[in-house]
Amino acid sequence: MNYFSSNFKLGILGGGQLGKMLLNDTRKFDIYTCVLDISDEAPCKIASNEFYKGDLMDFKTVYNFGKKVDVLTIEIENINVDALEKLEHEGVKVYPSSKTLGIIQNKSKQKLFYIDHNLPTTPFSRFAYKDEILTAIKHETLRFPFVWKSAQFGYDGNGVKVIRTFSDLDDLPKGECITEELVDFKNELSVIVARNVSGETKVYPVVEMEFHPHANQVEYVICPARISKEIALKAELTALKTSAAFNHVGLLAVEMFLTKDDEILINEVAPRPHNSGHHTIETSYTSQFEQHLRAILNLPLGKTDSKVGGIMVNLVGEEGYNGDVVYQNIESIMEMDGVTPHIYGKKQTRPFRKMGHVTIINEDITEARKIAEKVKRTIKVISK
Ligand code: ADP
């Protein structure tokens, strides 16, 4: 099939920053795109060929949008999967598949998938209602501390809470959830696997993720991870096995914990370009966004080696600021060597909202880490 400067249409469900970065590469290849998003101010709006406003969880909206395109992909997971399934039956190519998305949308189903496929994951329990947690604690089948996770619609750590006492349970939503053992991990790692329609598979180097202590959001992504070759290999093999188990097409980001005993446990997966792969725009031979296109269009995959070491810093809204965004001191960070800011195009900031990121490239990862901290201290996402 000819995708380049042709009548072919790629549909993207979701119009946020991941879509916007994907559109850099559809523009590079001159591939025609249609984007659907709930917001009229979605970052994708300016770069897509056709933009539609609509609810991604609404069956009719997703179905009607899907009928306009040849291949459909996502940049967000909360999509109406029944519509995707119907579109698949009617011949639209949907990557990731409705089946994969259905599993990933629900943390309880996702966990069971790992168990069924003999993939290592954190020990967990499933609960249909929050109140069942209280019963489990009373019967001593569940003990403090543990991690509570909403089964559905959590993202960027907002459906996750460490529970140490009864009072920590007070403000939680009442619905379906899981609890996990609190892992005392050494490191959080992520591996992105790319797999095209024919099954050609490539894996990006393992990265290390450092999290914000309170917000549960990634603060720094470090590539390559500062781990031994043996552990890197173990993480890569786990990620490859996971991608194969899903029979996945496109990118699959596999987030893992490295325990104190050097055990690898899968935390969760994302079937799309991922925050832990943003650095690839500057560090890799093939950015994750170009690779995602290659994979879903069944083109040859690009080389995944890094040209240089890199660190990504998320730019999130400062606490205490809401309103029209200002990137304070952006010029100062642009004076630093190897520093590139990416601004997503969201006009309004609020505390911890992901507004952009900064990539720092350097031959020496220790030096890059120092510059990353300086970047973090210097640039502030505030309001007017
Ligand atoms: P989300 O889907 O919102 O990204 P995650 O399940 O990835 O949520 O959890 C967010 C973060 O919370 C993780 O990256 C990790 O830092 C912490 N976390 C999650 N599960 C556990 C666990 N079982 N033990 C310790 N920390 C955890």
As a whole number of Å, the end-to-end CA separation of the chain is: 49
**Within a domain: residue 103?**
no
174 shares its domain with 200: no
What's the rounded mean pLDDT across residues 95-112? 97
Give residue 217 CA to ligand 1 midpoint distance, Å: 9
Does residue 136 have a pLDDT over 70? yes
Dihedrals φ, ψ of 226, to 5°? -85, 70
Residue 18 has a pLDDT of: 98
Nearest CA to ligand 1 atom 23: 182
Give residue 36 CA to ligand 1 midpoint distance, Å: 29
Residue 211 has a pLDDT of: 82
Q: Work out which ligand 1 atom sits closest to the CA atom of 209.
A: 14
Give residue 267 CA to ligand 1 midpoint distance, Å: 7
User: Which of 163, 181, 199 finishes a domain?
Assistant: 181
Q: At what angle do helices 288-296 and 17-29 cross, to 10 degrees?
A: 70
Residue 157 has a pLDDT of: 65
290 shares its domain with 378: yes
User: Which of 50, 75, 94 finishes a domain?
Assistant: 94
| CATH number reported for the structural domain that contains residue 29 in this entry | 3.40.50.20
- Interacting residues of 199 by C-beta distance below 8 A, sequence separation 6+: none
251 shares its domain with 321: yes
Nearest CA to ligand 1 atom 8: 157
Query: Which helix or strand (DSSP H or E) is residue 266 part of?
Result: strand 264-270
Place of tokens 């890799």: 284
Residue 217 has a pLDDT of: 73
200 shares its domain with 163: no
Structural domain that includes position 69: 9-94
153 shares its domain with 282: no
**Within a domain: residue 104?**
no
Ligand 1 pocket test, candidate residues 105, 106, 142, 147, most atoms within 8 A of CB? 147
- The answer to which of 111-120, 134-143, 216-225, 313-322 has the lowest mean pLDDT is 216-225
24 shares its domain with 54: yes
Residue 1 has a pLDDT of: 80
Ligand 1 pocket test, candidate residues 216, 257, 316, most atoms within 8 A of CB? 216
* Residue 300, preceding peptide bond in cis (omega within 30° of 0): no
**Within a domain: residue 247?**
yes
Q: Is the beta carbon of 25 within 6 A of some atom in ligand 1?
A: no
What's the rounded mean pLDDT across residues 272-296? 98
Does residue 52 have a pLDDT over 80? yes
User: Which of 156, 181, 206 finishes a domain?
Assistant: 181
Q: Is the beta carbon of 188 within 6 A of some atom in ligand 1?
A: yes
- The answer to which of 14-28, 165-179, 211-225, 292-306 has the lowest mean pLDDT is 211-225
176 shares its domain with 208: no
370 shares its domain with 253: yes
Residue 194 has a pLDDT of: 98
Task: For residue range 228-266, list pLDDT tens digits in order.
Answer: 999 999 999 999 999 999 999 999 999 999 999 999 999
Q: Is the beta carbon of 160 within 6 A of some atom in ligand 1?
A: yes
What's the rounded mean pLDDT across residues 5-32? 98
130 pLDDT tier (thresholds 50, 70, 90)? confident
What's the rounded mean pLDDT across residues 302-324? 97
| CATH number reported for the structural domain that contains residue 160 in this entry | 3.30.1490.20
Q: Is the beta carbon of 216 within 6 A of some atom in ligand 1?
A: yes
**Within a domain: residue 279?**
yes
Q: Are 344 and 356 in contact (CB under 8 A)?
A: yes
76 shares its domain with 165: no
Give residue 188 CA to ligand 1 midpoint distance, Å: 9
104: Cα within 13 Å, side-chain hemisphere: 29
Global pTM exceeds 0.95 = yes
Give residue 207 CA to ligand 1 midpoint distance, Å: 16
Residue 154 has a pLDDT of: 73
What integer best gives the mean pLDDT of the chain?
96
28 shares its domain with 133: no
Q: Is the beta carbon of 245 within 6 A of some atom in ligand 1?
A: no
Does residue 22 have a pLDDT over 80? yes
Q: Are 79 and 59 in contact (CB under 8 A)?
A: no
Nearest CA to ligand 1 atom 10: 157
Strand, coil or helix: what is 133? helix
**Within a domain: residue 202?**
yes
Residue 158 has a pLDDT of: 74
Does residue 155 have a pLDDT over 90? no
Strand, coil or helix: what is 125? strand
Q: Work out which ligand 1 atom sits closest to the CA atom of 154.
A: 3
Q: Is the beta carbon of 215 within 6 A of some atom in ligand 1?
A: no
Q: Are 202 and 213 in contact (CB under 8 A)?
A: no
Q: Are 214 and 321 in contact (CB under 8 A)?
A: no
What's the rounded mean pLDDT across residues 127-151? 94
Cα distance between residue 275 and residue 263, in whole Å: 23
Task: For residue range 168-224, list pLDDT tens digits in order.
Answer: 999 888 899 999 999 999 999 999 999 999 999 999 999 999 987 776 678 899 999
165 shares its domain with 227: no
Residue 213 has a pLDDT of: 73
What's the rounded mean pLDDT across residues 267-292? 98
234 token code pair: 């173990």
Number of domains in the chain: 3
